Structure 1
Amino acid sequence: MIDEFEEYLQSHNLSENTITSYSFALKQYKKNYGSITRKNLKQYKLWLIENYKPETVNLRIRAINCYLECINKTNLKIPSVKMQHKNFLENVISEADYIYFKNCLKSNNDMLWYFVIRFLAATRARISELLQIKAEHINIGYLDLYSKGGKLRRLYIPESLQNEAKDWLKKLNRTSGFVFLNRQGRLITSRGVAIQLKSLAVKYNINPAVVYPHSFRHLFAKTFLARFNDIALLADLMGHENIETTRIYLRKTSTEQQLIVNKVIDW
């Protein structure tokens, strides 16, 4: 059953992370509730609400609904829970911290991790997309990605980063293949990246809460809008189907809001 579900997910070109997450949700459901019935599905949803944050609840619900599609029982789909959206962004690395971070890594000749955060911040890549980058993509300056609906999205590599990465790969005598490899020559993992970034944040006295792979994607979006105010283009670059998803980047972070309040309000 799990194997069949994973094959179904793979056939829809979902990412490795999504497949792992959805499979976990199905295993969790089966372990606690067994058969697929309307009553069990409702109990599972209530249990999720009692034990997890709304974001996680909706992620698990999406997973189960996807499984219901897989077995042709869409009439049993579970409604997601409503979330109260905040009017600010949370836990996004600042441009100043990013510049400090990359300079620390470069000065310590930690070039693998220097380029990890450079590519995350300069290409808006998701972690699963970052790990697909090869030397060949750096040479041509872009990586073509395909969504589960077969839609093409191009991940551009800025010229300055492209040239710097070419020089790095030349020193490593690497002319082809995946770029982000560990010391054993194997592709680094998404989990490995997340853990190492937290460790490096602590080492360089940066708040670990703002140092995680997706934070650099948020940084890209905020910085892009600040320098080139075209939200429609940003939506295309980010791969957002709905421009409303992109509008969150028009908001300030909570830290930015606090600084503005401190500066403006003197009464």
Structure 2
Amino acid sequence: MAMQAYHDWMQAREYSAGTIEKYSRDVERFFRETHAPSVPDKQTVADWRDSLVARGYSAASVNAMLAAVNGYQEFCGNPQGKAKPLKCQRRVFCEAGRELSRAEYFRLLEAARQTGHKRTLLVLQTLCATGIRVSELAYITVEAVRRGRAAIRCKGKCREILLPAQLCKRLERWSKRQHIHAGPVFLTRTGRPLDRVTVWKEMKALCKRAGVAKEKVFPHNLRHLFARTFYHLEKNLAKLADLLGHSSIETTRIYIMESGAEHQRLLEQMHLLL
């Protein structure tokens, strides 16, 4: 009952569907592992946080799970029961094993083309060419394609993005062939907007043929590739933050981190050793 109420509380505050799903899962895990009462005390939350660290979870993962439990405490009217997140120094490079390269992205596109998955091919290009979240895919409508711009609403914020002309032509042709005359361009067989899980599964199905590690292939990595590509062309962090719909530039910085391999290459080029 409490979990359903927490779910409704997050919905009323317009949390994204992905956030609600993750927070619910993390809070359920907290109660399963701690056997805490419905309104936990601060020490129990802090001990659970520390146990996650001891089990080898990264600071970022621990803080993400802790945010869910602290949110639950807010919902319970128990803000004094929240535990402090771990302090993390901002990373200057990302893990190479998780970064999707431009070449790998094009191999995924080619795999989708060769296997005849036209919708998947267009979805991948739409996500990567616009930088939108997969949850925002429903805002790519027939009307938006005709205008060449889409009005995106997510997490209580609105922004307008431009759509590349070539992408608009391809989406317009797709819509006509699928007899979609209004509303979202990407639909399931039952006529519902394409959801995150479906996109995720279709992307994973391309990995073997494309020769790309599954760990690198998920919708949000296309958003990161868009951010890195844009920043290489236009060194304007504030503009990129607006395009991505970020409230904080600090969030945007995460998206443009180079891999550890690139960071190593820069260190070698500095020639500061005798």
Q: Smaller-chain TM-score range?
A: 0.7 to 0.9
Alignment match, 2:243: 237
What are the residue-to-residue correspondences of 1:158-177 with 2, within 5 Å? 158-177=164-183
Match of 2:46 among 42, 60, 63: 42
Which is further off, 183-192 or 208-217?
A: 183-192
Alignment match, 2:116: 109
In structure 1, how many angstroms separate the alpha carbons of the residues matched to 2:268 and 2:246? 34
CA gap 1:251/1:67 in 2 versus in 1, 3 angstroms: closer
What are the residue-to-residue correspondences of 1:76-95 with 2, within 5 Å? 76-90=81-95, 91-95=98-102
- Counterpart amino acid of 1:166? E
Unaligned runs of 5+ in 2: none
Q: Any idea what the Cα deviations from partners look like across 1:222-254, whole Å, max 9, x if unmatched?
A: 111111222211111112222233234554223
Alignment match, 1:10: 11
In structure 2, how many angstroms separate the alpha carbons of the residues matched to 1:234 and 1:82? 26
Residue 34 of structure 1: CA displacement?
2.5
TM-score normalised over the length of structure 2:
0.85
TM-score normalised over the length of structure 1:
0.87
Match of 1:71 among 58, 70, 76: 76
What are the residue-to-residue correspondences of 1:115-264 with 2, within 5 Å? 115-148=122-155, 150-257=156-263
8 Å Cα contact 1:89-1:251 kept in structure 2: yes
In structure 2, how many angstroms separate the alpha carbons of the residues matched to 1:39 and 1:187? 43
In structure 1, how many angstroms separate the alpha carbons of the residues matched to 2:50 and 2:83? 11
- Counterpart amino acid of 2:147? I
Alignment match, 1:99: 106
In structure 1, how many angstroms separate the alpha carbons of the residues matched to 2:118 and 2:261? 30
In structure 2, how many angstroms separate the alpha carbons of the residues matched to 1:26 and 1:92? 29
- Counterpart amino acid of 2:27? L
Which is further off, 255-264 or 129-138?
A: 255-264
- Counterpart amino acid of 1:68? Q
8 Å Cα contact 1:33-1:40 kept in structure 2: no
In structure 2, how many angstroms separate the alpha carbons of the residues matched to 1:250 and 1:194? 22
Identity among equivalent pairs (%): 29
SS at match of 1:154: strand
CA gap 1:38/1:247 in 2 versus in 1, 3 angstroms: closer
Q: Any idea what the Cα deviations from partners look like across 1:29-72, whole Å, max 9, x if unmatched?
A: 23333311223222222233233332221112111111222222
SS at match of 1:146: strand
In structure 2, how many angstroms separate the alpha carbons of the residues matched to 1:40 and 1:264? 48
Alignment match, 2:35: 33
SS at match of 1:155: strand
In structure 1, how many angstroms separate the alpha carbons of the residues matched to 2:89 and 2:235? 27
In structure 2, how many angstroms separate the alpha carbons of the residues matched to 1:185 and 1:77? 43
Which is further off, 50-59 or 1-10?
A: 50-59
SS at match of 2:15: coil
Which is further off, 63-72 or 216-225?
A: 63-72
Residue 76 of structure 1: CA displacement?
1.8
8 Å Cα contact 1:92-1:216 kept in structure 2: no
Residue 124 of structure 1: CA displacement?
0.7
